[in-house]
Amino acid sequence: MIPNEPQWYGRLGEEPYRKDPRPSEGQVQAIIAAAKPGKERRWAKWPAAVLFAAACLAMTAWLLSSADRADRVSTSAPSGPYAGISRTDFLATAGDRKINIVEEFKGRNEHWAAEYYVYTLSGDSLRLVLCLTKYIGDGPSPRGEMSFTLMSGDTVFGSVGVTYVTAPEQNIYSPALTMPKGAISDPASLKSLKMLIKSSGDEQFEWVTLYPSEG
């Protein structure tokens, strides 16, 4: 015996160190056969988990892209002082009949933006006019009795008073201003128009100068 050699090795065949008999080949195969389906099932869970994670990533990417598209749409929508009264907005109201704009005048000041259109409808040579004014000042839109007057130089083309019980939608006022027949037969000859606006409680008119515009 080697000096200092541990003395426990000789007791390995005794309790509690006795080894179980080596299993037969048939027992080994039975153990493998019983364990294999469980192993395959565990591996089968991986593809499902991977597919679920991929689906979550795809959904997240789609939601982010949708939000980005929505943001681009909202930021690209018409904005600014002429939103709602611009040429594009006016043409969008045409419906089935095409609008042909003969002349457009537009202008703004600190409180108001205004558009004045001379136009015809498809299939008709009669010239029509439309005046749109939009309140762009601070605070609530004016209500009550309001006056609108359209001038060029010293010539008054039309004046109308309108009472608004509530503020109009989008702060857009559409006074029914009309020009005398033939007064604007040659709109290109007008260098500018002046829209005078007086709100309830105001002592004086304030005006917006409108200039010919290509849109």
Largest interatomic CA distance in the chain? 134
Provide the pLDDT for residue 118: 87
What's the whole-number mean pLDDT along residues 169-190? 69
Chain centre distance of CA 61: 19
**Rounded CA gap, 89 and 92, in Å?**
5
Query: What would the pLDDT profile of 14-36 be if each residue is shown by its tens digit?
Result: 444 444 455 566 665 665 565 55
Provide the pLDDT for residue 69: 40
Which single residue is written with the structure tokens 């005794």? 14
Average pLDDT in the chain: 72
What percent of the chain has pLDDT above 70?
57
- pLDDT bin (cut points 50, 70, 90) of residue 92 is confident
Provide the pLDDT for residue 215: 60
Written as six digits, the tokens of 134 are 């939009």
72: pLDDT strictly greater than 50: no
- The full set of domain ranges for the chain reads 1-77, 87-212
43: pLDDT strictly greater than 80: no
**Rounded CA gap, 138 and 200, in Å?**
16
Written as six digits, the tokens of 180 are 């005398």
Q: What is the CATH number of domain 87-212?
A: 2.60.40
The Cβ of residue 149 has, within 10 Å, a number of other Cβ atoms equal to 19
46: pLDDT strictly greater than 80: no
Which 3 state secondary structure label does DSSP give 168?
A: coil
143: pLDDT strictly greater than 80: yes
Query: What would the pLDDT profile of 105-126 be if each residue is shown by its tens digit?
Result: 999 999 999 999 888 888 888 8
What's the whole-number mean pLDDT along residues 121-144? 88
- pLDDT bin (cut points 50, 70, 90) of residue 70 is very low
Provide the pLDDT for residue 53: 62
Helix spans in 79-188 (H): 87-91
